[in-house]
Amino acid sequence: MSSSQDWQNIKYTETFDAEIRGLDLRRAAGCSVSDIEGTLKHLYVLDGADQGGRGSVQDTIMAATIAAYEHYISCWKTATAAGQKSVSPLRPTRPGV
């Protein structure tokens, strides 16, 4: 793996993990799954508004943030359907990592 991929993988993992921790805190503070889904919709809009070009660092952060939200929502809905009270999402493997 090249060093350019190394820093991107590290940044992606750091961002993803930080977002999951933040989502856990938001849920504990009373956020609903629809609140989190609303934020995800706004992240999609921000991701599409890249006409000036964010650069590779911000693209990596945005991709990890969106992936964390998608994953957390999926885990939350699965846990709710199974009658579980905690989400406990596992970090998925990023393609190429």
Tokens found for residue 84? 């579980």
Asked if the structure places residue 27 within a domain, the reply is no
More confident residue, 16 or 88: 16
pTM, full prediction: 0.83
Asked if the structure places residue 31 within a domain, the reply is no
Cα-to-chain-centroid distance, residue 56: 17
> Which domain, by its residues, includes 77?
3-20+39-81
Tokens found for residue 40? 């995800």
Asked if the structure places residue 94 within a domain, the reply is no
Asked if the structure places residue 96 within a domain, the reply is no
Q: What is the mean pLDDT of residues 46-53?
A: 82
Asked if the structure places residue 28 within a domain, the reply is no
The model's confidence at residue 27, banded by pLDDT at 50, 70 and 90, is very high
More confident residue, 2 or 27: 27
Q: What is the mean pLDDT of residues 69-84?
A: 91
Asked if the structure places residue 25 within a domain, the reply is no
Asked if the structure places residue 89 within a domain, the reply is no
Q: In a 3-state reduction of DSSP, which class is residue 34?
A: helix
| Number of independent structural domains in the chain | 1
Return all residues near 96 (Cβ < 8 A) that are at least 6 apart. 5, 9
What pLDDT sits at residue 90? 55
Asked if the structure places residue 57 within a domain, the reply is yes
